[in-house]
Amino acid sequence: PTLKAVAVAVAMKKCSLSVGAVFGKAVLANWLVCLAMFNASRATSITGKMVGIWLPISSFVVLGFEHSVANGFLLPLGVLSGAPIGWLDIWTVNIVPALAGNLVGGGVLLGFSGWYAHRKHLQ
């Protein structure tokens, strides 16, 4: 398939999910993205930083999770390549639920759990 066909197929797939599915996939996506940033901040070598980022990010991509920033590129690319999706659908079906899920994934799953695990050291 051509790159144009792939862009259309990806956009169609992402906009065919339910809002709940997008939200759930976005929670897990941003948990992995924040985990990558945490790994990179804790590693002391360049190799450690690269591996710490690469594993979670490649996992989120391979598993097909939703990330609002990545979808902010992929969905317009699909529309500009010919996907029959409206701009309102992109925002209401994918970007907004993905953003909400990303906030929960980063803030609650990683942020809250990190605070809870280290709360005694913070006092």
Residues 53, 41: contact at Cβ < 8 Å?
no
Residues 68, 98: contact at Cβ < 8 Å?
yes
Which whole number is the average pLDDT over 9-16?
Answer: 95
Count CB neighbours of 122 within 10 A.
6
CA-CA distances (angstroms) from residue 45 to 23, 34, 37?
A: 35, 19, 14
Question: Helix axis angle, 68-80 relative to 3-14, nearest 10°?
Answer: 120
85's CB contacts (< 8 A; 6+ apart) are 11, 12, 15, 75, 78, 79
Count CB neighbours of 109 within 10 A.
17
Tell the burial category of 56 from Cβ atoms under 10 Å away from its Cβ (0-12, 13-18, 19+): buried
What's the whole-model pTM score? 0.86
- Whole-number percent of the chain with pLDDT over 90: 82
pLDDT of amino acid 71: 95
- pLDDT category, 114, cuts 50, 70, 90? confident
pLDDT of amino acid 11: 96
